[in-house]
Structure 1
């Protein structure tokens, strides 16, 4: 049995405390009024040597100040929402990989199942956090989703035409179905898996196979709809039929990467002794393959929209290229070029420190991907990676660290009585 160390508990606590303090600081230091923003903008104009007349030539002061005020008020909310959604979907992605392995009755991966199960324990707290943020948005605490504002809907024909789908009661109901379904099915599979430790039952083995298949069918539909609701609806005028697959690839590769990182960490501490470099090699193959798949989806979506040059579609990328140029193209380089150059080498996939280095880059790159998906529609050109953004990652990352490593203590690290375990332990090639 694995026992969570005091060092991990202390690290998680420090991350949570620092994150909470930083996020509170972010909320406290948002502008208190539009007048305060107007003063701030006037000072910026003066600092850049602009006269008041020149400033007026660029902006209608009152309208621009109100616009920037809304963006700055959104910034800490968007920061915690980005971090919460990233870690939540990472956990769901890891569980989706677990379900695939069960449904395929893969022989190489059962020795890693408890790591996958532990990561999936964050689906419940992560889902609760995301849902609370959605509820607070619906109550008017922020303007992350402009379609939730009745005044905006009343003056926007495009959003008004979507009100049958984009309305708060139906939106929250769908969120309950997505999150509730993922929480229940992940709990059920973990429960059956742990029961098999006590006494093998063919019925339980078959039941988990069926639950895996049910989850995958439910997931492929609910994940696409979730991506429309939780992310794409932020840019309410824009839509893409490829977006669900794009988000899936990001959360899937992030989940697999986290499985690899935690496995390597446990092995370095003397656990999972029967995990060998062939297991790590296979995880790295998935990290490499899904990174390429993500790039294919990114390029397909970008290329078709950019060359079609239809204004209502191209606006999504124009905003990101103009206001988020470095992050937009930087995260593509991190998520594609870095894994391609490193993990294309077969031998490198068996070297733990190389897999860890690449894994950290992948997680950082896909967090930036979520940042670039969410921030332009919520804070626009007023973005900045500062205390609220870093604090949000620390806070949710600390919660993730605690729940995952606490989940590892709930059952033996190597599942007992699993029919394919012997094959997994002797997996070499």
Structure 2
């Protein structure tokens, strides 16, 4: 085992250009959202973009918690020196959750979101707008129960995110294995809860936008998207930190591991996407094929672009072993994957909200830029609060000597 002279008290300083640009991005986002709400005809489109980015923001942060939990339960050694990055994402989750709940709540109240099941008269047999199918789902799809599920599920994810971050801080101060053992135990509990509730969360937040349609694979399709997006973000942050002179212990083998995960789960995302598509195509039932009809008819460019960015690009560029170890290649692929899953969420959400009245311009670009700025500001602020390495992690030496 080698010896190292790394500075384990080193902290990231969030200042200068990075901080300024993130604030400018937030201002651009606020201005774009205000522009969208300035015209009543664009309210629905603005809400749809807010839901898209609010959901994306929350998903990558909760996947940061999922990353931590996976490492603890697997007792993984390779990742011990990079855990501060997903930990910062996990600590940001309460902010993302608060924003998402506000968006969903206002969208329900104004009927700009979820109007397929929340519009007046849909469950009233005496109304001309009565919908028998929606009425049959009303025991599950009703505003009080819907919001209760959102609050309970997201609240549980926040609780475990804060708990794991707190145990990490305690381990820094106290050393020993007490906090690590607790992290292992609570991670096991979190993974069970997350595994059962995350698909329901995806059904509620996104699939219920088109309440006549359903797919039992939709939850795992969303899981694959949020998980590979969070891996891409972790890779981007680590590479940028390393380029800035931080975290010198990160080597090409750590990048190789992340590249393997991004490569593998991009294939998994495609597998679930194609399995869902193939089953619906083969069954050819009108109540199911309407989902893909809308996307072929009004969103064909986005439909195929999603496959190119989320499958072809990562598979072709990361198939070679050496490319997984090159930081510039991995950085480029990670950015492509993040853009690709924005496109993925765009074609998930827009047909069920604005339908054929879609557009692409200031609202879409500005809202996305604003949330990127908000994510950058909150995560990097959190990252700057503690040393960049968990100095008392029991597998730290294994991570520092990680070589493939």
Q: Are 1:15 and 2:25 an aligned pair?
A: yes
Higher-Rg member (1/2): 1
User: Residue by residue, what CA displacement relative to the aligned partner does 1:375-409 show, whole Å, maximum 9, x if unpaired?
Assistant: 00000011111111111112211111111000111
Deviation of 1:141 after TM superposition, in Å, equals 5.3
Q: Are 1:388 and 2:363 an aligned pair?
A: yes
Give the match's secondary structure for 1:340.
helix
2:209 counterpart residue number: 234
Structure 1 unpaired stretches of 5+:
32-71
Given that 2:65 and 2:87 are in contact with CA atoms closer than 8 Å, whether structure 1 keeps it comes out as yes
1:2 counterpart residue number: 12
2:102 counterpart residue number: 132
Deviation of 1:242 after TM superposition, in Å, equals 0.5
1:82 counterpart residue number: 52
Q: Are 1:28 and 2:38 an aligned pair?
A: yes
1:150 counterpart residue number: 120
1:346 to 310, 321, 337: 321
2:179 counterpart residue number: 204
Task: Give TM-score scaled by structure 2 length.
Answer: 0.94
2:71 counterpart residue number: 101
Q: Are 1:272 and 2:282 an aligned pair?
A: no
Given that 2:63 and 2:226 are in contact with CA atoms closer than 8 Å, whether structure 1 keeps it comes out as yes
Given that 2:44 and 2:112 are in contact with CA atoms closer than 8 Å, whether structure 1 keeps it comes out as yes
* Matched pairs, number: 389
Deviation of 1:153 after TM superposition, in Å, equals 3.3
2:156 to 157, 164, 181: 181
1:62 counterpart residue number: none
1:248 counterpart residue number: 223
RMSD: 1.1
User: Residue by residue, what CA displacement relative to the aligned partner does 1:345-387 show, whole Å, maximum 9, x if unpaired?
Assistant: 0000000010011011000000111111100000001111111
1:37 counterpart residue number: none
2:147 to 167, 172, 178: 172
2:308 counterpart residue number: 333
Give the match's secondary structure for 2:193.
helix
User: Residue by residue, what CA displacement relative to the aligned partner does 1:126-171 show, whole Å, maximum 9, x if unpaired?
Assistant: 1101101111123225244431223233311100100000011111
Given that 1:74 and 1:144 are in contact with CA atoms closer than 8 Å, whether structure 2 keeps it comes out as no
d(CA) in 1 for partners of 2:387, 2:190: 24
2:127 counterpart residue number: none
User: Residue by residue, what CA displacement relative to the aligned partner does 1:153-202 show, whole Å, maximum 9, x if unpaired?
Assistant: 33111001000000111111100111100111000000000111112132
Given that 2:146 and 2:204 are in contact with CA atoms closer than 8 Å, whether structure 1 keeps it comes out as yes
d(CA) in 1 for partners of 2:208, 2:26: 29
Given that 1:256 and 1:286 are in contact with CA atoms closer than 8 Å, whether structure 2 keeps it comes out as yes
Deviation of 1:87 after TM superposition, in Å, equals 1.6
Task: Give TM-score scaled by structure 1 length.
Answer: 0.89
Given that 2:113 and 2:209 are in contact with CA atoms closer than 8 Å, whether structure 1 keeps it comes out as no
Deviation of 1:276 after TM superposition, in Å, equals 0.2
Given that 1:78 and 1:144 are in contact with CA atoms closer than 8 Å, whether structure 2 keeps it comes out as no
Given that 2:36 and 2:43 are in contact with CA atoms closer than 8 Å, whether structure 1 keeps it comes out as no
Give the match's secondary structure for 2:356.
helix
User: Residue by residue, what CA displacement relative to the aligned partner does 1:237-280 show, whole Å, maximum 9, x if unpaired?
Assistant: 00001011000000000001100000001111111101100000
d(CA) in 2 for partners of 1:2, 1:226: 34
Give the match's secondary structure for 1:108.
coil
Kindly report structure 1 stretches of 4+ aligned residues shifted beyond 3 Å.
none
User: Residue by residue, what CA displacement relative to the aligned partner does 1:59-97 show, whole Å, maximum 9, x if unpaired?
Assistant: xxxxxxxxxxxxx43101101110111121011122212
d(CA) in 1 for partners of 2:243, 2:134: 53
d(CA) in 1 for partners of 2:362, 2:135: 36
d(CA) in 2 for partners of 1:99, 1:425: 20
Q: Are 1:73 and 2:48 an aligned pair?
A: no
d(CA) in 1 for partners of 2:149, 2:378: 26
